[in-house]
Amino acid sequence: MKRDLIYTCKSANPEETSDFARKMKSIFVPGVVVSLIGNLGSGKTFFVKEFASAFGIKDVDSPTFTIVNEYVSNQKIIHIDFYRINKISELYEIGIFDYLNNPETIVFVEWGNLYPDILPEKRFELEIESSENNHRKICVYELG
C-alpha cells in the first residue's frame, strides 16, 4: 500500500500548530478519515480542536472517555478515540463503520494506529512528535 509524505510542519508553539491545523482544511475535506498518531500529550486533541475552529466549532474536547464525539456546524466532524478500546469487537459494537463511511463528514481518529485495519485503506495519517521545549514535528501522509 502506498504511503506518501505530503506535508511536514515544524511548530515552535501552539499558535503555529493552530495555523497549520486550520490550513489543512483544504486537504481534510468531507469524506476523509484522518488517523492521528502520537504519544500521550503530543497534541492530537489540540490539533482537532484547532482544525474544527476553522468551521466555527468551539466545543471540541477529548473523546477518550466518550469514544466518539460529534461536532455539528455547517460541517459535521466526527472525533473518535481508540485509546480506551480493549479489542476490535468493541469497535464493531459501537457501530464504527457508520461513522467511517459517510461522504459528508470529516473523521479524526486518535490512536488510529492501535486498530489500523479497521480504518479505510484510503486515508490520511497525521503523526505528531513532541520534542524538548514543547516543539512539535507534524507529518501528514496520504495512504492508499
Partner 1 sequence: MITLGIETSCDETSIAILQDGVLKANIISSQEFHKDYGGVVPELSSRAHLQLVLPLLRKALSQSEIELKEIDLIAATAGPGLIGPLLVGLSFGKSLAYSLKKDFIAVNHIEGHIYSGFLMNEKPNFPYLCLVVSGGHTLALLVESESEIIKLGGTIDDAIGEAFDKVAKLLGLGYPGGPLIQKFSEEGDPKFTAFPIAQLDNRYDFSFSGIKTSVLRFIENNYKSSEIMNLAEKENVAAAFQKAAIEPLLRTIRNATEEFDVKSVCIVGGVAANKKLREEVEMLGEQRSLKVVIPKMEFCGDNAAMIALRGQMLYKNGVRHDLNENAFPRNPINLFRQRPGLV
- Other CB atoms closer than 10 Å to residue 56's CB: what's the count? 10
Nearest-angstrom CA–CA distance, 43 and 39: 8
Among 49, 105, 110, 128, binds partner 1 (CB under 8 A): 49
Q: Please, which of residues 100-129 interact with partner 1 by CB under 8 A? A: none
> Residue 41 or residue 144: which is nearer to partner 1 going by CB?
41
Nearest-angstrom CA–CA distance, 136 and 144: 26
Among 11, 18, 35, 45, binds partner 1 (CB under 8 A): 45
8 A C-beta contact, residue 20 and residue 49: no
> Residue 8 or residue 65: which is nearer to partner 1 going by CB?
65
User: To the nearest whole angstrom, how small is the minimum distance from the Cβ of residue 123 to partner 1?
Assistant: 23
Residues 51-90: x where in contact with partner 1 by CB under 8 A, - otherwise, as a string: -------xx-xx-xxxxxxxx-------------xxx-xx
- List the beta strands (DSSP E) in 1-144: 3-11, 33-37, 68-72, 76-81, 105-110, 123-130, 136-143
β-pair type (123-130, 33-37): parallel
**Contact residues for partner 1, defined by CB under 8 A:** 39-41, 45-46, 49, 58-59, 61-62, 64-71, 85-87, 89-90, 93-95, 130
